[in-house]
Amino acid sequence: MWKWIQAFASPKIFYQTSEKIIPWLMMPFVVLSLLGLYWSFVVSPADYQQGDSVRIMYVHVPSAWMSLFIYVVMAVASGIGLIWQIKLAHIVANVSASIGASFTFLALATGSIWGKPMWGAWWAWDARLTSELILLFLYLAYISLNNAFDNPKTGDKACAVLAIVGLVNIPIIYYSVEWWNSLHQGSSISVTKVSMQIDMFIALMLISFAFKFLYGALMLLRARDEMLIREQNSRWVKEIIGE
Protein backbone atom coordinates (compact mmCIF):
# COMPACT_ATOMS: atom_id res chain seq x y z
CA MET A 1 0.00 0.00 0.00
CA TRP A 2 2.75 2.44 1.05
CA LYS A 3 4.73 1.55 -2.07
CA TRP A 4 1.65 2.22 -4.21
CA ILE A 5 1.11 5.61 -2.51
CA GLN A 6 4.77 6.52 -3.04
CA ALA A 7 4.57 5.49 -6.70
CA PHE A 8 1.34 7.44 -7.25
CA ALA A 9 2.83 10.48 -5.53
CA SER A 10 5.59 10.59 -8.14
CA PRO A 11 4.74 13.66 -10.28
CA LYS A 12 4.90 11.90 -13.64
CA ILE A 13 2.89 8.83 -12.56
CA PHE A 14 0.33 11.04 -10.81
CA TYR A 15 -0.11 13.13 -13.96
CA GLN A 16 -0.60 10.08 -16.16
CA THR A 17 -2.82 8.12 -13.74
CA SER A 18 -5.07 11.04 -12.79
CA GLU A 19 -5.92 11.60 -16.46
CA LYS A 20 -7.52 8.15 -16.51
CA ILE A 21 -9.36 8.66 -13.19
CA ILE A 22 -11.00 12.04 -13.97
CA PRO A 23 -13.67 10.76 -16.43
CA TRP A 24 -14.65 8.10 -13.87
CA LEU A 25 -15.33 10.91 -11.38
CA MET A 26 -17.10 13.26 -13.80
CA MET A 27 -19.53 10.64 -15.09
CA PRO A 28 -20.93 9.70 -11.65
CA PHE A 29 -21.10 13.41 -10.81
CA VAL A 30 -23.37 14.11 -13.81
CA VAL A 31 -25.54 11.01 -13.29
CA LEU A 32 -25.93 11.50 -9.52
CA SER A 33 -26.65 15.24 -9.97
CA LEU A 34 -29.46 14.54 -12.44
CA LEU A 35 -30.90 11.80 -10.23
CA GLY A 36 -30.51 14.05 -7.18
CA LEU A 37 -32.38 16.90 -8.88
CA TYR A 38 -35.17 14.53 -9.89
CA TRP A 39 -35.44 13.20 -6.34
CA SER A 40 -35.27 16.70 -4.83
CA PHE A 41 -37.91 18.28 -7.04
CA VAL A 42 -40.24 15.41 -7.96
CA VAL A 43 -39.95 12.36 -5.68
CA SER A 44 -39.23 13.94 -2.29
CA PRO A 45 -42.36 15.08 -0.40
CA ALA A 46 -42.80 18.44 1.35
CA ASP A 47 -41.91 18.43 5.03
CA TYR A 48 -44.81 18.51 7.54
CA GLN A 49 -43.29 21.55 9.29
CA GLN A 50 -41.04 23.28 6.74
CA GLY A 51 -43.24 22.63 3.71
CA ASP A 52 -41.48 22.81 0.33
CA SER A 53 -38.62 24.88 1.76
CA VAL A 54 -37.10 21.56 2.87
CA ARG A 55 -35.88 21.20 -0.74
CA ILE A 56 -33.26 23.86 -0.03
CA MET A 57 -31.75 21.34 2.43
CA TYR A 58 -30.80 19.04 -0.46
CA VAL A 59 -28.17 21.54 -1.61
CA HIS A 60 -27.48 23.25 1.73
CA VAL A 61 -26.62 20.15 3.79
CA PRO A 62 -24.34 18.47 1.17
CA SER A 63 -22.53 21.82 0.70
CA ALA A 64 -22.01 22.12 4.46
CA TRP A 65 -20.75 18.51 4.62
CA MET A 66 -18.36 19.24 1.75
CA SER A 67 -17.03 22.35 3.50
CA LEU A 68 -16.05 20.20 6.51
CA PHE A 69 -14.87 17.21 4.45
CA ILE A 70 -12.57 19.29 2.23
CA TYR A 71 -11.04 21.04 5.22
CA VAL A 72 -10.27 17.67 6.85
CA VAL A 73 -8.72 16.48 3.55
CA MET A 74 -6.60 19.66 3.48
CA ALA A 75 -5.43 19.22 7.07
CA VAL A 76 -4.60 15.51 6.60
CA ALA A 77 -2.78 16.24 3.30
CA SER A 78 -0.89 19.08 4.99
CA GLY A 79 0.13 16.73 7.83
CA ILE A 80 1.34 14.12 5.32
CA GLY A 81 3.20 16.82 3.41
CA LEU A 82 4.92 18.10 6.55
CA ILE A 83 5.85 14.69 7.96
CA TRP A 84 6.79 12.73 4.84
CA GLN A 85 7.74 15.70 2.61
CA ILE A 86 5.43 14.52 -0.16
CA LYS A 87 5.03 17.31 -2.71
CA LEU A 88 1.73 15.94 -4.01
CA ALA A 89 0.16 16.16 -0.52
CA HIS A 90 0.88 19.91 -0.36
CA ILE A 91 -0.52 20.33 -3.87
CA VAL A 92 -3.74 18.51 -2.89
CA ALA A 93 -4.13 20.84 0.10
CA ASN A 94 -3.41 23.96 -1.99
CA VAL A 95 -5.85 23.21 -4.80
CA SER A 96 -8.57 22.06 -2.38
CA ALA A 97 -8.72 25.42 -0.60
CA SER A 98 -10.64 27.36 -3.25
CA ILE A 99 -13.05 24.44 -3.82
CA GLY A 100 -13.65 24.22 -0.07
CA ALA A 101 -14.20 27.98 0.15
CA SER A 102 -16.79 27.75 -2.65
CA PHE A 103 -18.73 25.00 -0.85
CA THR A 104 -18.56 26.92 2.43
CA PHE A 105 -19.91 30.03 0.71
CA LEU A 106 -22.66 27.90 -0.83
CA ALA A 107 -23.56 26.39 2.56
CA LEU A 108 -23.77 29.85 4.15
CA ALA A 109 -25.70 31.39 1.24
CA THR A 110 -28.27 28.59 0.87
CA GLY A 111 -28.61 28.44 4.66
CA SER A 112 -29.31 32.15 4.67
CA ILE A 113 -31.92 31.78 1.89
CA TRP A 114 -33.58 28.99 3.91
CA GLY A 115 -33.36 31.04 7.12
CA LYS A 116 -35.41 33.95 5.77
CA PRO A 117 -38.75 32.11 5.40
CA MET A 118 -38.13 29.75 8.34
CA TRP A 119 -36.56 32.01 11.00
CA GLY A 120 -37.65 35.34 9.57
CA ALA A 121 -34.02 36.51 9.25
CA TRP A 122 -31.25 36.12 6.68
CA TRP A 123 -28.62 35.76 9.38
CA ALA A 124 -28.34 35.07 13.12
CA TRP A 125 -25.15 35.10 15.21
CA ASP A 126 -25.81 31.51 16.13
CA ALA A 127 -22.97 29.12 17.12
CA ARG A 128 -23.33 26.92 14.01
CA LEU A 129 -23.56 29.83 11.58
CA THR A 130 -20.72 31.76 13.19
CA SER A 131 -18.36 28.76 13.31
CA GLU A 132 -19.15 28.01 9.64
CA LEU A 133 -18.36 31.66 8.81
CA ILE A 134 -15.04 31.26 10.64
CA LEU A 135 -14.37 28.23 8.43
CA LEU A 136 -14.87 30.45 5.35
CA PHE A 137 -12.37 32.94 6.81
CA LEU A 138 -9.91 30.08 7.44
CA TYR A 139 -10.18 29.01 3.79
CA LEU A 140 -9.66 32.63 2.64
CA ALA A 141 -6.70 33.04 5.01
CA TYR A 142 -5.17 29.83 3.61
CA ILE A 143 -5.59 31.06 0.01
CA SER A 144 -4.13 34.49 0.85
CA LEU A 145 -1.18 32.96 2.71
CA ASN A 146 -0.51 30.59 -0.18
CA ASN A 147 -0.46 33.48 -2.66
CA ALA A 148 1.82 35.55 -0.43
CA PHE A 149 4.90 33.36 -0.98
CA ASP A 150 7.06 33.35 -4.09
CA ASN A 151 8.76 30.15 -3.02
CA PRO A 152 6.17 27.32 -3.03
CA LYS A 153 8.19 25.23 -0.52
CA THR A 154 8.05 27.96 2.16
CA GLY A 155 4.42 28.69 1.34
CA ASP A 156 3.51 25.00 1.63
CA LYS A 157 4.91 24.76 5.15
CA ALA A 158 3.20 27.93 6.41
CA CYS A 159 -0.13 26.90 4.84
CA ALA A 160 0.18 23.38 6.25
CA VAL A 161 0.56 24.78 9.78
CA LEU A 162 -2.49 27.01 9.26
CA ALA A 163 -4.57 24.10 7.92
CA ILE A 164 -3.64 21.88 10.87
CA VAL A 165 -4.28 24.58 13.48
CA GLY A 166 -7.63 25.44 11.84
CA LEU A 167 -8.73 21.83 12.19
CA VAL A 168 -9.84 22.68 15.74
CA ASN A 169 -12.81 24.52 14.22
CA ILE A 170 -14.24 21.34 12.63
CA PRO A 171 -15.52 19.64 15.84
CA ILE A 172 -16.73 23.07 17.01
CA ILE A 173 -18.91 23.36 13.89
CA TYR A 174 -20.12 19.76 14.16
CA TYR A 175 -21.00 19.80 17.86
CA SER A 176 -22.05 23.46 18.09
CA VAL A 177 -25.75 22.53 18.01
CA GLU A 178 -25.21 20.24 21.02
CA TRP A 179 -22.80 22.39 23.02
CA TRP A 180 -24.78 25.64 22.82
CA ASN A 181 -28.43 26.60 22.69
CA SER A 182 -28.62 26.94 18.95
CA LEU A 183 -31.27 28.29 16.60
CA HIS A 184 -29.92 25.87 14.02
CA GLN A 185 -31.66 22.51 14.03
CA GLY A 186 -29.80 19.44 15.28
CA SER A 187 -28.47 16.63 13.12
CA SER A 188 -31.10 14.42 11.46
CA ILE A 189 -28.58 11.81 10.32
CA SER A 190 -26.13 9.87 12.45
CA VAL A 191 -24.24 6.62 11.96
CA THR A 192 -26.92 4.63 13.76
CA LYS A 193 -30.12 6.59 13.05
CA VAL A 194 -31.81 8.45 10.21
CA SER A 195 -34.74 10.54 11.41
CA MET A 196 -36.21 11.61 8.08
CA GLN A 197 -38.42 10.24 5.33
CA ILE A 198 -36.57 7.79 3.04
CA ASP A 199 -37.00 9.83 -0.19
CA MET A 200 -35.63 12.92 1.56
CA PHE A 201 -32.64 10.85 2.69
CA ILE A 202 -32.08 9.50 -0.87
CA ALA A 203 -32.20 13.04 -2.37
CA LEU A 204 -29.70 14.21 0.24
CA MET A 205 -27.34 11.29 -0.37
CA LEU A 206 -27.51 11.56 -4.18
CA ILE A 207 -26.46 15.21 -4.18
CA SER A 208 -23.96 14.61 -1.40
CA PHE A 209 -22.19 11.88 -3.42
CA ALA A 210 -22.43 13.99 -6.60
CA PHE A 211 -20.55 16.79 -4.79
CA LYS A 212 -17.92 14.29 -3.56
CA PHE A 213 -17.26 13.12 -7.13
CA LEU A 214 -17.17 16.74 -8.34
CA TYR A 215 -14.60 17.59 -5.69
CA GLY A 216 -12.49 14.58 -6.66
CA ALA A 217 -12.51 15.56 -10.34
CA LEU A 218 -11.83 19.26 -9.70
CA MET A 219 -9.09 18.51 -7.22
CA LEU A 220 -7.30 16.17 -9.66
CA LEU A 221 -7.68 18.60 -12.59
CA ARG A 222 -6.26 21.49 -10.56
CA ALA A 223 -3.53 19.35 -8.99
CA ARG A 224 -2.38 18.33 -12.49
CA ASP A 225 -1.97 21.99 -13.47
CA GLU A 226 -0.14 22.83 -10.25
CA MET A 227 2.12 19.82 -10.83
CA LEU A 228 2.96 21.05 -14.35
CA ILE A 229 3.90 24.49 -13.02
CA ARG A 230 6.08 23.12 -10.22
CA GLU A 231 7.76 20.55 -12.44
CA GLN A 232 8.13 22.83 -15.46
CA ASN A 233 11.88 22.23 -15.67
CA SER A 234 11.49 18.45 -15.75
CA ARG A 235 11.93 16.61 -19.00
CA TRP A 236 8.57 14.79 -18.75
CA VAL A 237 6.67 18.11 -18.55
CA LYS A 238 8.56 19.46 -21.57
CA GLU A 239 7.68 16.29 -23.47
CA ILE A 240 3.98 16.53 -22.54
CA ILE A 241 3.66 20.24 -23.36
CA GLY A 242 5.74 19.90 -26.51
CA GLU A 243 3.44 17.18 -27.90
Nearer to another protein, 52 or 178 (CB): 52
Q: How far is the CB of 173 from another protein (least distance, A)?
A: 20
Q: How far is the CB of 161 from another protein (least distance, A)?
A: 26
Q: How far is the CB of 165 from another protein (least distance, A)?
A: 26
Report the alpha-carbon distance of residue 215 to residue 200 in Å, rounded.
23
Nearer to another protein, 85 or 147 (CB): 147
Nearer to another protein, 153 or 238 (CB): 238
Report the alpha-carbon distance of residue 26 to residue 34 in Å, rounded.
12
42: exposed, middle or buried (C-beta count within 10 Å: 0-12, 13-18, 19+)? Answer: exposed
Nearer to another protein, 138 or 214 (CB): 214
Nearer to another protein, 62 or 81 (CB): 62
Q: Where are the alpha helices (DSSP H) in the chain?
A: 2-9, 11-38, 57-84, 87-119, 127-148, 152-166, 169-179, 198-230, 235-242
Q: How far is the CB of 208 from another protein (least distance, A)?
A: 13
Q: How far is the CB of 164 from another protein (least distance, A)?
A: 25
139: exposed, middle or buried (C-beta count within 10 Å: 0-12, 13-18, 19+)? Answer: buried
Measured on CA atoms in the order 145, 149, 152, 157, is the torsion positive or negative?
negative
Nearer to another protein, 59 or 204 (CB): 59
| Positions that interact with another protein (CB under 8 A) | 37, 41-42, 51-53, 55-56, 59-60, 63, 99, 102-103, 105-106, 109-110, 113-114, 116-117, 214, 218, 221-222, 224-225, 228-229, 232, 237-238, 241-242
Q: How far is the CB of 7 from another protein (least distance, A)?
A: 24
Tell me, rounded to whole angstroms, the distance of Cα 158 from its chain centroid. Answer: 21
How many CB atoms lie under 10 A from the CB of residue 198?
Answer: 10
Tell me, rounded to whole angstroms, the distance of Cα 199 from its chain centroid. Answer: 24
Distances (CA, A) of 33 to 52, 126, 199, 202: 20, 31, 15, 12
